[in-house]
A and B are shown apart, each in its own frame.
Chain A
Amino acid sequence: MAPVADIAVHDRPVAERIALVCLVVVGVLWAFGALVDSAVFFQPILFGLGTGAIIAAIALGLVVAYRASGVINFGHGAIATYITYIYVSLTDTGHYPIPPIPNPLAPIEGIFGVEILDIPTMIGTGGPMAKGWAAAIALLTAALLGLLAHYAVFRPLRYAPVLAKVVASVGVMLFLQAAVVLRFGARAKSADPIFPNGPVDFLGVRINQDRFWLLGTVALLTLALWLLFRYTRFGIATRASAENERFTTLLGFNADYQAGMSWVLSTVLAGAMGILVAPVTGVTPNLFTVLLISSLAAALLGKMSSFVIAAATGMALGIIDQQLFRIEFEFAWLPDIGIRRALPFVAVALVMVIRGEALPSRGAVLLGRLPAAVAPLITRWRLAAYSLLVTLAFLVSVFAPFQYRGAMVNSMVGVILALSFVVVTGYLGQISLMQMALAGIGAFAVGSFGTAAGMPMLIAMPLAVACGVGFGLVVALPSLRTRGASLAVISLASGLAIEEIFFRRAGWFGLDRTMKHSDPPEIFGIEFGPNSSFILSDGKIPTGGFGVFVLVLTVSSCVGVMRLRRSRLGEQMLAVRANESAAAAAGVNVSAIKLAAFGIGSFFAALGGVLTAYKLGIYSGAQFGIFASLGALAFAYLGGISTVGGAITAGTLFTGGIGIVVSNEWFIDMGSYSAYVAGLFLIVTAVYNNEGIDGFQRTQFHTVVNWWRARRGLGPLDPMAVVGVEER
């Protein structure tokens, strides 16, 4: 955007000063601690070296990928995980995993009951493999993965809006992580040591020496990358093409090759560090993705371009983490509020305050379009179709067999959750990766207010939703200063912090072994929970009464968002999405509009959470973690992120939703493959059709209508008349 883009930066020096003061205070406290007891001081530093090294290494890879293609790669941790698992599998059993591939002959096989094509899940190499060979094969895979990521995903997205890039990288994360779980299960794995790991005594602390080896490796890597990008022809050309691709091309460089090679460098780096670190920390399918958030903070502090700052900050975060762990251990009497768990969030937030919107952006001339936020013309036909849809939903929720009723409820809750993305991402154009955390706040709060505190539903439910909105607004505050990928990072970190602080520990919501209870909803003594014996019940859950309750809320939500799109508030959101500066010049209070959108988005997220609580009765933080948020974004984007129709489509796709259940019962059982397929489709959608399924069927419908009109000798339909951007 124009140099005039940032309208809220003038207070940055103050923020910088605050950050500096904080740093000094921390330093002084630390030095004081060192005077008191040098072992206490050094121990966390030394113990933190392991975690710090991974965080730093992931941060280095993030910087390389960003320099290559301007993508903040949320899939980077998952790439490291995938490669590490390959290595571990090869050294353990000599098996090389094949990612799940659909069998094209499956229908024929199904009909004739024979197995023609048997795609193996693993290729055996005959017994455990030597570490060197295993590492070589794993890293070769990493290189191929890098090429694939570049040519199949991020190169086509070169000129795409940030939204598509972030979504695609989230797709990469979900896809690879699901592949790991499918092939290896969710259990932690360990690996044989690579570095010598005998204990050494250092400054009065006994510690395994592999920490030092890791530290040295990261330091060497940082130096090597710095030299590479500073002095070699390759590095300089890559930097140049990040700044101005066209000119670099004119100078005779192949910008595409530069970017591709950088991607390979980035993925090999990820894989190599995973392999080196696995013996120290062990590896789980989402370990590196959780650490990724700290790495993002480190990389962002280095403006996604400084290797040294990224690595040093990564190390520091690992050490601070150990320090906080130590403090929690030593001073157990301190109230346990989970500060340590929030460390990545605190780090990201601080970095944002210091850095603001200072990320260097690539000099792309033409940006692709965002998905169209269509407001359909409400014609008689459409009204009839909507009525039919609602009637159908009503009939299914009340009279269908119980598994379909349950699926319908899941879908309707999914629609409401997807609507929260429609408002925040579709209309406002900002990326939130924490909507399920807000849903969790709603769910846990309604349990506390309604069940624990015994408030009636008509008070507890609005209160719980208000809690969600409050959280949403607080977390939205950074959106006034940042946007795009940076905001996605903040929201991801916030989601993790909320999950760790509120949902996983007994403290805040009075959890019973991290489980939460909620009584069924009830108005004036009439209960209509999923298993209340109220009318419309065949004795199986969920009852029709609950279905109708959810249906009423879902329909109101959909109508509400459709009206929002047409109202001036909605128009102003789209204006902000299109161009913040121009919106401000046109008299739009950009900050207020952003807060309004986040508030409304949080409202729907929290409402979805409350309904989830009523639906489940007993639930835990697992339903509301960051991976749930990422999954929800995936479904919402697949359905169509910027329309109510898209949200409805998304609802059918949600886990346990009507589309999934129908497909399971009548066609194929997706079962454990749903996350894998969702990740894959998310990538495809982001790259090739950012309008999602809803937009796809819309254009198909127009094609058919126009074909029909052409046959009857009529001219093609005015696209705008169909899209009906204008009703007024």
Chain B
Amino acid sequence: MSDSVLYTEGLTVRFGGLTAVNNVTLDCSRGELTGLIGPNGAGKTTFVDAVTGFLPGNSSGSVQIEGTEVFGRSAHLLAHAGLSRTWQTLELFDDISVRSNLDVASRVLTVRGAVRDFFRASERDDRVEEILELLGLADIANRQPVELSQGQRKLVGVGRALVASSTKILLLDEPAAGLDRTETAWFGEQLRGLVDEGYTMLLIDHDMGLVLNVCDRIHMLVFGELVTSGTPEEMRGNPDVIAAYLGHSGDSSNG
């Protein structure tokens, strides 16, 4: 626990009578790529929504960033505290350029900052340029998201999450959805590269191939419960994982 960046304890999400996430305790260590897998409807995205403050009325439990309790803070304050996320459906700002998409997230806007920025011609933000360069988006920085390919759009989403200097952990919600096998592999390499540079990430996906290849540690959600955790090697042969993805068969555990 000493070097945990994100730690949730007993996180529960209820929608009326339905418990979508049940008592999930999960730990993401610094500099690691943690995977969260599970079949469709397991509650992965709901878990991310709850952690990032989008289900205030429905969630309970504890969320800590570097040991500080942050549960109950509103979404933008959680972002300031270090939680950055991407969306399965991307949710880019379609009306402004790629660079502006990153600009919006790059730093916290104070009243003073806003006024100063208004009166001074705002200069480019080094951090934004650095991320654009890093993700190979520099050439299309002036384009609007609608003009880009799906893969490029996904990178913009990642860039927007990466760019905030306050970011301590990145929560990637199904970043590989809609990518083909080659693209997914390439995307995985990019993620691994970022982690090796020191970023901490939580990767949510149901693509076992991607997760098993790039993650350091993997947790699996089934029907809202964290059923098993382990390294990719441990998970590969884990009967629970096989059961969750392929369904139960009487003798699979013996085989």
Using known A-B contacts A578-B93, A582-B91, determine if residue A725 contacts B54 with beta carbons closer than 8 Å.
no
Question: In the complex, which residues 79-105 of chain B have their Cβ closer than 8 Å to any Cβ of chain A?
Answer: 79-80, 84-85, 87, 89, 91-97, 99-101, 103-105
A574 at the interface (CB under 8 A from B): yes
Question: In the complex, which residues 700-728 of chain A have their Cβ closer than 8 Å to any Cβ of chain B?
Answer: 720-721, 725-726, 728
Q: Is the CB of A2 within 8 A of B91?
A: yes
Q: Is the CB of A369 within 8 A of B75?
A: no
Report how far A370 CA is from B95 CA in the complex, Å.
8
The residue on A at minimum CB distance from B101 is: A575
Report how far A472 CA is from B241 CA in the complex, Å.
56
B contact residues around A571 at 8 Å (CB): 96, 100, 103-104
B contact residues around A586 at 8 Å (CB): 76, 79, 104-105, 160-161, 164
Name the interface size band of chain B.
35 or more
Q: Is the CB of B104 within 8 A of A583?
A: yes
The residue on B at minimum CB distance from A3 is: B49
Question: In the complex, which residues 12-56 of chain B have their Cβ closer than 8 Å to any Cβ of chain A?
Answer: 49, 52-56
B4 at the interface (CB under 8 A from A): no
B255 at the interface (CB under 8 A from A): no
A contacts with B, residue count (CB < 8 A): 40
Report how far A370 CA is from B85 CA in the complex, Å.
25
Report how far A373 CA is from B52 CA in the complex, Å.
29
Could you say which of A325-333, A451-459, A559-567 contacts chain B?
A559-567
Report how far A14 CA is from B117 CA in the complex, Å.
39
Using known A-B contacts A588-B109, A725-B142, determine if residue A582 contacts B114 with beta carbons closer than 8 Å.
no
Could you say which of A4-12, A67-75, A170-178, A276-284 contacts chain B?
A4-12
Q: Is the CB of B56 within 8 A of A569?
A: no
A88 at the interface (CB under 8 A from B): no
Report how far A578 CA is from B80 CA in the complex, Å.
20
Question: In the complex, which residues 168-203 of chain B have their Cβ closer than 8 Å to any Cβ of chain A?
Answer: none
A513 at the interface (CB under 8 A from B): no
Q: Is the CB of B103 within 8 A of A568?
A: yes
B250 at the interface (CB under 8 A from A): no
Q: Is the CB of A584 within 8 A of B75?
A: yes
Q: What are the interface flags for A573-591 relative to B under an 8 Å C-beta threshold, 1 for contact and 0 otherwise?
A: 0110111011111111110
Report how far A589 CA is from B113 CA in the complex, Å.
14
Q: Is the CB of B118 within 8 A of A725?
A: no
* Among candidates B57, B79, B121, B143, residue contacting A587 with C-beta atoms closer than 8 Å: B79
The residue on B at minimum CB distance from A569 is: B114
Q: Is the CB of B53 within 8 A of A7?
A: yes
Report how far A3 CA is from B82 CA in the complex, Å.
23
B150 at the interface (CB under 8 A from A): no
A contact residues around B141 at 8 Å (CB): 726
Q: Is the CB of B95 within 8 A of A4?
A: no
A contact residues around B93 at 8 Å (CB): 574-575, 578-579, 582-583
A390 at the interface (CB under 8 A from B): no
B70 at the interface (CB under 8 A from A): no
A372 at the interface (CB under 8 A from B): yes
Q: Is the CB of A566 within 8 A of B122?
A: yes
A216 to chain B, nearest CB (A): 40
Q: Is the CB of B143 within 8 A of A720?
A: yes
B contact residues around A577 at 8 Å (CB): 95
Using known A-B contacts A370-B95, A728-B122, determine if residue A4 contacts B55 with beta carbons closer than 8 Å.
yes
A294 at the interface (CB under 8 A from B): no
* Among candidates B75, B94, B103, B114, residue contacting A578 with C-beta atoms closer than 8 Å: B94
The residue on B at minimum CB distance from A642 is: B95
B contact residues around A590 at 8 Å (CB): 76
Report how far A4 CA is from B142 CA in the complex, Å.
29
Q: Is the CB of A7 within 8 A of B57?
A: no
Q: Is the CB of B96 within 8 A of A575?
A: yes
Q: Is the CB of A587 within 8 A of B76?
A: yes
Q: Is the CB of A572 within 8 A of B75?
A: no
A175 to chain B, nearest CB (A): 29
The residue on B at minimum CB distance from A374 is: B95
A53 to chain B, nearest CB (A): 38
Report how far A581 CA is from B91 CA in the complex, Å.
8
A268 to chain B, nearest CB (A): 39
* Among candidates B57, B75, B99, B160, residue contacting A581 with C-beta atoms closer than 8 Å: B75
Using known A-B contacts A585-B75, A585-B85, determine if residue A578 contacts B118 with beta carbons closer than 8 Å.
no
Using known A-B contacts A581-B54, A587-B164, determine if residue A568 contacts B143 with beta carbons closer than 8 Å.
no
Question: In the complex, which residues 490-506 of chain A have their Cβ closer than 8 Å to any Cβ of chain B?
Answer: none
Q: Is the CB of B118 within 8 A of A569?
A: yes
Question: In the complex, which residues 134-152 of chain B have their Cβ closer than 8 Å to any Cβ of chain A?
Answer: 141-144, 146
Q: Is the CB of A369 within 8 A of B94?
A: yes
Q: Is the CB of B122 within 8 A of A567?
A: yes
B162 to chain A, nearest CB (A): 11
A contact residues around B118 at 8 Å (CB): 563-564, 567, 569
Q: Is the CB of A373 within 8 A of B75?
A: no
B231 at the interface (CB under 8 A from A): no
B contact residues around A564 at 8 Å (CB): 118
B contact residues around A9 at 8 Å (CB): 56-57
B108 at the interface (CB under 8 A from A): yes
Q: Is the CB of A584 within 8 A of B100?
A: no
Interface centre among B87, B91, B99 (most CB of A within 10 A): B91
Q: Is the CB of A569 within 8 A of B105?
A: no
Q: Is the CB of B49 within 8 A of A4?
A: yes
B contact residues around A566 at 8 Å (CB): 121-122
A contact residues around B100 at 8 Å (CB): 571, 574-575, 725-726
B contact residues around A3 at 8 Å (CB): 49
Report how far A7 CA is from B53 CA in the complex, Å.
8
Report how far A574 CA is from B96 CA in the complex, Å.
7
B74 at the interface (CB under 8 A from A): yes
Report how far A575 CA is from B100 CA in the complex, Å.
9
The residue on B at minimum CB distance from A7 is: B75
Q: What are the interface flags for A421-451 relative to B under an 8 Å C-beta threshold, 1 for contact and 0 otherwise?
A: 0000000000000000000000000000000
Report how far A728 CA is from B95 CA in the complex, Å.
17
A557 to chain B, nearest CB (A): 14
Report how far A589 CA is from B76 CA in the complex, Å.
6
Q: What are the interface flags for A548-564 relative to B under an 8 Å C-beta threshold, 1 for contact and 0 otherwise?
A: 00000000000000011
A72 to chain B, nearest CB (A): 24
B contact residues around A372 at 8 Å (CB): 95
Q: Is the CB of B142 within 8 A of A720?
A: yes
Report how far A147 CA is from B109 CA in the complex, Å.
49
Using known A-B contacts A372-B95, A373-B95, A726-B141, determine if residue A585 contacts B104 with beta carbons closer than 8 Å.
no
Report how far A589 CA is from B70 CA in the complex, Å.
17
A579 to chain B, nearest CB (A): 5
Q: Is the CB of B103 within 8 A of A587?
A: no
Q: Is the CB of A587 within 8 A of B122?
A: no
Using known A-B contacts A2-B89, A586-B79, determine if residue A568 contacts B95 with beta carbons closer than 8 Å.
no
Question: In the complex, which residues 1-43 of chain A have their Cβ closer than 8 Å to any Cβ of chain B?
Answer: 2-4, 7, 9-10, 12
Report how far A232 CA is from B161 CA in the complex, Å.
50
* Among candidates A7, A579, A726, residue contacting B97 with C-beta atoms closer than 8 Å: A726
Can you add 10 more A-B contacts, CB < 8 Å, to A571-B96, A726-B141?
Answer: A4-B54, A12-B57, A369-B94, A571-B103, A572-B104, A579-B93, A584-B75, A721-B142, A725-B144, A728-B123
Contacts from B to A (Cβ < 8 Å): 49, 52-57, 74-76, 79-80, 84-85, 87, 89, 91-97, 99-101, 103-105, 108-109, 113-114, 117-119, 121-124, 141-144, 146, 160-161, 164, 166
CB pairs A–B below 8 angstroms (21 shown): A7-B74, A373-B96, A563-B118, A564-B118, A568-B104, A568-B113, A568-B117, A571-B96, A571-B100, A574-B96, A575-B100, A579-B93, A585-B79, A586-B164, A587-B79, A589-B109, A590-B76, A720-B143, A720-B144, A726-B99, A726-B141
Top 4 A-B residue pairs of the complex, sorted by shortest distance between their CB atoms: A587-B79, A4-B54, A586-B105, A584-B75
